[in-house]
């Protein structure tokens, strides 16, 4: 487990493919250093450091309450208490930036629990994702076409209310909504939660399609096996800090399980 985060990933091709995102600048990576975050006076994240290159998936795993959701939210500019540390996209210092600035700088967040609007239609939810450039109609239509190409069911169900759709379909909407913000980097919190297994596979296939098109992804998944399967590198968070990182080989689970499951859970894993 001696990998230096983000060091050896080759630059991906940004050409072609239905999942292609249009890069907004020459950013090559997202770098988070010594991030702190919490709620009021309670500090939950004490030292979170991570990086992801364009065209790369890294996973973030850890036991319940370790601080993963809080860390991703803080990176995206959602701060519930004073936060410290630095966040860069390429050369751009985004430390302490607002959620709007993060979106316009190329960062998207798909929060845990899919914060989409259940009484609104699929299309209305997708359009909301383009709020930072809502006057650029042609761009929005092109992006909608891309999202529909990625998840055809969202075109088919365009006029339906979101509340009546399955967990997997709602997750696709949440991802689609984030894509409408034109991210270069996406923070994805528990995309498999409440989603039928067959749709989990489909969602991950589509995510990999986006990554091949140049998207950089930080992924939180409760299943360590699935997190390792779908990422090239991993970070383990415990009590608000990174305690382990490395390449996502199947063997890595031997090192991760004792931290995430505790010694009593390892035999049962
Ligand atoms: P899980 O896998 O269960 O989602 P996590 O690693 O994502 O866990 P967080 O959701 O970030 O962890 O929670 C970290 C800690 O922060 C927990 O102790 C949790 O109770 C606390 N916490 C989360 N949200 C809030 C909030 N809105 N107000 C106060 N404390 C919170």
Q: How many other CB atoms are found less than 10 A from the CB of residue 228? A: 23
The mean predicted confidence, pLDDT, of the chain is 87
Distance 14 CA to ligand 1 centre (A): 36
Q: What is the reported pLDDT for 22? A: 42
Is 12's pLDDT higher than 80?
no
Residue nearest ligand 1's atom 17 by CA: 65
pLDDT (tens digit, 9 = 90+) per residue, 150-186? 999 999 999 999 999 999 999 999 999 999 999 999 9
Q: What is the reported pLDDT for 263? A: 60
Q: What is the reported pLDDT for 53? A: 96
Lowest mean pLDDT among 22-36, 37-51, 213-227: 22-36
- 8 Å CB contact between 52 and 216: yes
Q: What is the reported pLDDT for 233? A: 97
- 8 Å CB contact between 58 and 230: no
- 8 Å CB contact between 76 and 109: yes
Which of 93, 104, 82, 154 is closest to 124 using CA atoms?
154
d(CA 47, CA 65): 15
Distance 73 CA to ligand 1 centre (A): 11
For ligand 1, mutation pick of 68, 78, 237 (most atoms within 8 Å of CB): 68
CATH superfamily of 29-250: P-loop containing nucleotide triphosphate hydrolases (3.40.50.300)
For ligand 1, mutation pick of 41, 42, 59, 65 (most atoms within 8 Å of CB): 65
Q: What is the reported pLDDT for 8? A: 37
Is 7's pLDDT higher than 70?
no
Task: Tell whether ligand 1 has an atom less than 6 A from the beta carbon of residue 70.
Answer: yes
Q: What is the reported pLDDT for 15? A: 30
Q: What is the reported pLDDT for 262? A: 80
Domain limits of the chain? 29-250
Counting Cβ atoms within 10 Å, is residue 167 exposed (0-12), middle (13-18) or buried (19+)? middle
Is 2's pLDDT higher than 70?
no
Q: What is the reported pLDDT for 266? A: 53
pTM: 0.87
Question: Which 8-state DSSP code applies to residue 28?
Answer: -
b/e map 97-121, b = 16+ CB within 10 Å: beeeebbebbbbbbbbebebeeebb
Residue nearest ligand 1's atom 13 by CA: 65
Q: What is the reported pLDDT for 199? A: 93
pLDDT (tens digit, 9 = 90+) per residue, 85-107? 999 999 999 999 999 999 999 99
For ligand 1, mutation pick of 66, 70, 261 (most atoms within 8 Å of CB): 70
Residue nearest ligand 1's atom 18 by CA: 65
Task: Tell whether ligand 1 has an atom less than 6 A from the beta carbon of residue 97.
Answer: no
d(CA 216, CA 116): 22
Distance 113 CA to ligand 1 centre (A): 13
Q: Where are the beta strands (DSSP E) in 163-211?
A: 185-189
- 8 Å CB contact between 171 and 197: no
Question: Which 8-state DSSP code applies to residue 13?
Answer: P
Q: What is the reported pLDDT for 137? A: 87
Q: How many other CB atoms are found less than 10 A from the CB of residue 267? A: 8
């Amino acid at each position: 487990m001696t990998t230096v985060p983000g060091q050896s990933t080759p630059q991906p091709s940004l050409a072609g493919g239905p999942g292609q995102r249009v890069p907004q600048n020459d950013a090559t990576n997202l770098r988070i250093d010594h991030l702190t975050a919490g709620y009021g006076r309670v500090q939950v994240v004490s030292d979170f450091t991570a990086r992801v290159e364009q065209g790369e998936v890294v996973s973030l795993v850890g036991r319940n309450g370790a601080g993963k959701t809080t860390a991703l939210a803080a990176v995206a500019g959602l701060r519930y208490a004073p936060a410290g540390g630095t966040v860069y996209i390429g050369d751009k210092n985004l430390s302490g930036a607002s959620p709007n600035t993060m979106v316009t700088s190329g960062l998207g967040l798909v929060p845990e629990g899919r914060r989409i609007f259940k009484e609104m239609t699929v299309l209305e939810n997708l359009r909301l994702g383009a709020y930072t450039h809502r006057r650029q109609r042609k761009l929005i239509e092109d992006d909608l076409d891309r999202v529909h190409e990625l998840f055809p069911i969202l075109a088919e169900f365009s006029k339906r209310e979101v509340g009546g759709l399955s967990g997997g379909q709602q997750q696709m909407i949440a991802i689609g909504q984030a894509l409408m913000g034109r991210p270069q980097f996406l923070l994805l919190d528990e995309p498999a939660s409440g989603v039928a297994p067959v749709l989990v596979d489909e969602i991950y296939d589509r995510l990999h399609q986006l990554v091949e098109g140049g998207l950089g992804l930080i992924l939180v998944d409760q299943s360590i096996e699935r997190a390792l399967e779908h990422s090239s590198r991993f970070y383990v968070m415990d009590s608000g800090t990174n305690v382990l990182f490395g390449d996502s080989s199947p063997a890595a689970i031997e090192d991760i399980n004792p931290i995430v499951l505790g010694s009593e859970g390892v035999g049962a894993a």
